[in-house]
Structure 1
Amino acid sequence: MNIAQVSQKFGVTSETLRYWERLGLLPQIPRNESGYRTYGELEMNWVFFVKVMRNAGMSIESLIEFINLYRQQTDSRAAQKELLIEQRDKLVAQQQEIAKTLNYLDFKIDHFEEHVLTYENEKLSYDQPTAFDQAAKTASERD
């Protein structure tokens, strides 16, 4: 596939793909006889991985670290796994904050006609445990 096709397939711009390649997040993309990038399955797997990790909020710096560890000849699997666990933990924390915020918005919507609520009632609605909190607790106990 050429860069335009890969760009369309993964919903990232051609400029982003070139940037990721320059940073070393993608392997060197092979070129055809005309000098155009030709993405094969391996390269597209890397595009998919980088896109998912960026969507997960992983920083470019952490991605570079992960990929450098991956490319080392030594056993770096534990360090790689730790980077993924750290990112997952950050996402879980974000998800918990989003769940709390959604509960708060639901409370505000459900009590909208009452117009003005006291701070303590609003804070209580924000701090109420959610179904997600229990699922996250179970997941962290599993780790």
Structure 2
Amino acid sequence: MDLSIGEVAQRSGLSVHTLRFYEREGLFANPVRRLSNGRRIYHEEDLEWLAICTKLRSSGMSLATIRQYIELARQGPGNEQERLQLLRRHEDHVEAQIRELRVTLEVMRHKVRVYEDHVARGEADRLWNPSHSDAARAGTHQECHPPGDA
């Protein structure tokens, strides 16, 4: 079934502008086909690839790396180890991001507990304020310490 760029945009959640950009950057697994009047036509497999491509982008894979992956895939059999290495490197990158986000989440949870505690005790005015706090000028305050230090 042929799909218009508008239909692909609606179904993929990507803008028409982004779809055109992806085409210019060579990020489609298959070349985008055009009708005799120049209108782009897409197929279901294009939507399937866009779903994967969107996840790769949202996980931090660069356009250049996605392009490299696509170029390897287009070459066909024989370079599966290269593709696997590329995917493993990105998997390692994503795992590192997750570890960092876990640490960030713990810091945020600590800050929420500090604020909840101060608000519950009616002492919100004692929370750190960089423009009015002696503690801020001294570089110390309970709110700023990482979990376990407060």
**TM-score normalised by the chain length of structure 1:** 0.75
Map of 1:102 onto structure 2: 105
Q: Please give the residue correspondences for 1:55-134 in structure 2 after superposition, counting only pairs within 5 Å.
A: 55-112=58-115, 113=118, 115=127, 116-117=141-142, 122-125=145-148
**TM-score normalised by the chain length of structure 2:** 0.72
Give structure 1 stretches of 5+ with no counterpart. Answer: 127-143
**What percent identity do the matched residue pairs reach?**
27
Q: Is the 8 A contact 1:103 1:125 kept in 2?
A: no
Map of 2:24 onto structure 1: 22
Query: How much is the aligned-residue C-alpha RMSD, in angstroms?
Result: 2.2
Hey, what's the Cα distance between the residues in 1 that align with 2:71 and 2:147?
A: 46
Q: Looking at secondary structure, tell me which structure has more helix per residue.
A: 1
Hey, what's the Cα distance between the residues in 2 that align with 1:47 and 1:99?
A: 28
Map of 1:2 onto structure 2: 4
Hey, what's the Cα distance between the residues in 1 that align with 2:143 and 2:57?
A: 40
Q: Is the 8 A contact 2:114 2:143 kept in 1?
A: no
- Structure 1 runs of 4+ off > 3 angstroms? 123-126
Superposed displacement of residue 123, structure 1? 3.2
Q: Is the 8 A contact 2:111 2:143 kept in 1?
A: no
Hey, what's the Cα distance between the residues in 2 that align with 1:29 and 1:93?
A: 34
Q: Is the 8 A contact 2:110 2:146 kept in 1?
A: no
Give structure 2 stretches of 5+ with no counterpart. Answer: 119-125, 128-140
Q: Which has the larger radius of gyration?
A: 2
Amino acid at match of 2:39: Y
Hey, what's the Cα distance between the residues in 2 that align with 1:32 and 1:81?
A: 35
Amino acid at match of 1:95: I
Hey, what's the Cα distance between the residues in 2 that align with 1:111 and 1:16?
A: 42
Q: 1:98–1:25: structure 2 CA closer, same or farther, 3 Å change rule?
A: same
Hey, what's the Cα distance between the residues in 2 that align with 1:19 and 1:117?
A: 48
Map of 2:130 onto structure 1: none
Aligned-partner SS, 1:111: helix
Hey, what's the Cα distance between the residues in 2 that align with 1:104 and 1:118?
A: 10
Figure out how many residues of one structure are paired with residues of the other and give that number: 124
